[in-house]
Structure 1
Amino acid sequence: MSVWEDVVGQEPAIETLQRAVSNSAAMTHAWLFTGPPGSGRSVAARAFAAALQCPRGGCGECRECRTALDGSHADVDVIATEGLSISVRQARDLAALAARRPSVGAWRVIIVEDADRLTEQAANALLKAIEEPTERTVWVLCAPSTEDVIITIRSRSRHVQLRTPPVEAVAALLTRRDGIDPAMAAYAARAAQSHIGLARRLARDEGARIRRHDTLKLATKITGVGQAVLAATDLAALAGEETTASSTERDAAERTRLLELLGADPSARTQPPHIRSQLNALEKEQKARATRFGRDVIDRALVDLLSLYRDALVRHAGAPVALVNEDVSELVDRLARAMSPEQLLAAMDAIGTARERIDANVPPLLALEAMMISLRLPR
């Protein structure tokens, strides 16, 4: 057993990190892990933290390894924002945390899972702590690419690039780690395009599989402006339903827990002013989390839609390349018959533009409507 067991398809990166663990000359105080969504950036970061704390360099069995991996180690702090950005206040708290020496472990390891969500002001607040770290403190920043992190931070960090793991490796992981049937694991890994987290969700959640199938079917129904607007509304509604289902129970539990911590009565019709201010702050955080989650749901749906047009293009080219959507090959064939290669490429560009617009805070429904109009099937 090893801490690197779940870091699949990343042999070059693992070799670099193992060398840093075993050789102080190869070690540095700040690391930047980049890779496409689903490549396992945070998994690799936790494994690296565990290997640094482990007396045997990452055995995966000792208390140091287990606690670092499950997030309970006193000297391994994992920061993952559920909002749209990491604020200056949060960054200052991180800088103060980095000034403390490790209490029980060999290193204090601070993992920032969403370094791309640092605002410019927040990144500047961290800069001095990263430039002049306390002895035995290690920063591990995770982001999709180096361009997503401001240059002053990335220039002071050692870069480790992860790649999209092979479908077979992701399927094998789901079978070994999660006990998923091999056939279902293979389908989920392929449909998720090797995104490990999404593959696990597809394999275990029938509702997610149904929503994905409904999203793919939209592509063959858009024949006019009216259908395009309806398709955009349907896609936004699907995202809204998933967001509500995910957040309602959790938000209520968080509110009850906060009231209990403050010694307030959860059943009271009104609360004192100081309690109301705490509740307002919680509701603001929950709203930001729901907004991000909704955008992530829409983005996943757009990636699924993009894969269908990609498969239709593969059909046109007759390339000996496996389809992402083999389970709905009839939809792929229908799209390939209806659209030329040039039209398919234009559709893929329209989907990419919609993703960029939503990421830039354009209201999702507006971006989806503009995209769906561009996806109309030719007469």
Structure 2
Amino acid sequence: MTVWDALVGQRHVVETLRVCLGGRGMTHTWLFTGPPGSGRSNAAIAFAAAIECEQDGCGECQACHTVLVGSHPDVTVIRTERLTLGVDEVRELVRRSALAPVASRHQVLIIEDADRLTEQAGNALLKAIEEPTEHTIWILCAPTVEDLLPTIRSRCRQVVLTTPTDREVAEHLITAEGVAEELAWSAARASQGHIGRARALALHQDVRNRRRSVVGYPTSLTGLQACLSAAADLAESTAEEATTVTGEVDAREKADLATSYGVVERGRRPREYAPALAALEKAQKTRAKRRHLDVIDRGLMDLVSVYRDAIKLGTGADGELINEDIRPQIVALAELSSPEAQLRRIDAIFTAREQMLEFNVPPLLALESMMLALRVPRRSA
């Protein structure tokens, strides 16, 4: 099994990168773009492993193994849970790029969230990629080329990943994860091409339960109280899920900080510890907020899938539904409202998404406004 086998539905990307590794079109700065879940980060790490591997990504050697598990000394991956990627982190990466490789011919630096670079961080990065050292290769990942400064993207060779088909995702779950065929297809449809989401849905019952709760909202939104209750439920459940993920990391980081400052051994806190702890807690708060918004965003996309299915039924389009397992509810929703009304509801969801992600509107307030816009008429007796 090579490092490329994990790239689901990206055969053209694999072929392109392999040609470059053979000496045709290789460059020092790359930009991997593609929709969420298409595997940008996986592709970047696979490419890094292939660069360090003497057999272009065999998947079996020490170089491939250490890159894939994140312990290769010459491959650095920068990822962030915060809203932005700051200049201090980029300057440290730029400093590292000037160093010679430790164990191989090339040093590979991957920025997974290049779309979150602040303007100052982008300018710091630009200076490094304008005149890269001979042994350094940069790989930037972003949803689209427009997410980066024009001066940066103009200096990159772009690799475009596409959304895998349901069949490609389902076959991957069956062959790589051993998932039963019916469950694999259900997870593939529900994920809408997002590999990580499909894997989570296929392997974890609690993830499926949470999604089932969200996609059950539309037909229940028949009055003011129902809408406000649904908004509160979504805000609370997503906050709990986000806290579960970040809480363990936060505790571990605080323990590591206390150890590094000798708090445990000395039994007292040195003067430098308080500002370091304050900085850490500020960063953790920002990360928790971003994680909560990410979880809400996933729920919003699940809601959109329900209205897309209702439009499909309302217009008489052929093909399976994304939410085939709740077809009776989709039928009921399509009977209650026209396709035009469903489109307006989708627009309301994206408005709420923009309010939270771009304009910092409190999640509960944005969700309450959205749920009211999603309200459906009561069935006549």
TM-score by length of 2: 0.95
Residue in structure 1 matched with residue 115 of structure 2 by the alignment: 116
Distance in 1 of aligned mates of 2:282 and 2:180: 41
d(CA) in 2 for partners of 1:116, 1:363 = 23
- 2:285 match: 287
Please give the alpha-carbon distance, in whole angstroms, between the structure 1 residues aligned to 2:27 and 2:287.
33
1:191-224 C-alpha deviation (Å, 9 max, x unpaired):
1112111111112222211111111111111123
Q: Is the 8 A contact 1:216 1:304 kept in 2?
A: yes
What pairs with 1:182-197 in structure 2 (closer than 5 Å)?
182-197=181-196
Secondary structure in 1 matching 2:140: strand
Task: Judge conservation of contact 1:255–1:279 (CA < 8 Å) in 2.
Answer: yes
Matching residue of 1:263: 262
How far residue 124 of structure 1 moved from its aligned partner, in angstroms, is 0.7
Partner of 1:327: 325
Please tell me whether the aligned partners of residues 101 and 135 of structure 1 are also in contact (alpha carbons under 8 angstroms). Answer: no
Structure 1 Cα separation of the partners of residues 100 and 85 of structure 2: 24
Q: 2:127 and 2:351 mapped to 1: Cα distance?
A: 36
Distance 1:234 1:70 in 2: 37
For residues 191 and 267 of structure 1, the distance between their equivalents in structure 2, rounded to whole angstroms, comes to 53
Instruction: Choose the corresponding residue for 2:294, options 274, 284, 296.
Output: 296
Matches within 5 A, 1:118-267: 118-265=117-264
Partner of 2:9: 9
**1:321–1:252 Cα change, 3 Å:** same
SS in 1 for 2:159: strand
Of residues 67-76 and 176-185 in structure 1, the stretch that sits farther from structure 2 once superposed is: 176-185
The aligned counterpart of 1:81 is 80
Whether the 8 Å CA contact 2:78–2:111 is kept in 1: the answer is yes
> One-letter code of the match for 2:142?
A
Query: How many pairs does the alignment contain?
Result: 377
Name which of structure 1's ranges 32-41 and 243-252 shifts more when overlaid on structure 2: 243-252
Paired letter, 2:4: W
Greater mean alpha carbon deviation, residues 179-188 or residues 279-288:
179-188
The 1:266–1:40 alpha-carbon spacing in structure 2 relative to 1, beyond 3 Å, is farther
77-86 or 252-261, larger mean C-alpha shift: 252-261
Provide, for residues 80-132 of structure 1, a one-character-per-residue CA deviation record: whole Å limited to 9, x for no partner: 11111100111111111111222211211111110011011110111010111
CA distance in 2, matches of 1:336, 1:266: 65
Percent of aligned positions that are identical: 51
Q: Is the 8 A contact 1:101 1:134 kept in 2?
A: no
Q: Judging changes above 3 Å, is the alpha-carbon distance between structure 1 residues 325 and 267 closer, same or farther for their aligned structure 2 residues?
A: farther
Q: Retained in 1: the 8 A contact 2:261–2:270?
A: no
After superposition, give the CA deviation of every residue in 1:44-64 in whole Å (9 maximum; x if it has no partner): 001111111111111111111
Distance between the aligned counterparts of 1:182 and 1:279, measured in 2?
49
Distance 2:9 2:230 in 1: 37
Query: Once the two structures are superposed, what CA deviation does each residue of 1:221-280 show, in whole Å capped at 9, x if it has no partner?
Result: 112333322221111111111112222233222222221222212996x73332222222
1-side partners of 2:250 and 2:93: how far apart? 26
CA deviation after TM superposition for structure 1 residue 172, in Å: 2.2
> d(CA) in 2 for partners of 1:101 and 1:165?
38
**Structure 1: which amino acid aligns with 2:148?**
V
- Paired amino acid for 2:293: R
Distance in 2 between the 1:116 and 1:321 partners?
35
Amino acid at match of 1:86: L
Give secondary structure in 1 for the equivalent of 2:162. Answer: coil
Find the residue that maps to 1:141 and give its secondary structure.
strand
In the TM superposition, what is the alpha-carbon distance from 1:185 to its structure 2 partner? 2.1
Alpha-carbon separation, structure 2, partners of 1:271 and 1:219: 53
TM-score, scaled relative to structure 1: 0.95
1:63-78 pair list within 5 angstroms: 63-78=62-77
Query: CA separation of 1:254/1:200 partners in 2, compared to 1, >3 Å: closer, same or farther?
Result: same
Residue 276 of structure 2 aligns with an amino acid whose one-letter code is: Q
User: Counterpart of 2:163 in 1: which secondary structure?
Assistant: coil
Return closer, same or farther for 1:70/1:249 CA change in 2, 3 Å cut-off.
closer
In the alignment, residue 317 of structure 1 is paired with which amino acid?
T
In structure 1, what is the equivalent of residue 19 of structure 2? 19
Counterpart-to-counterpart distance in 2, 1:82 and 1:341: 37
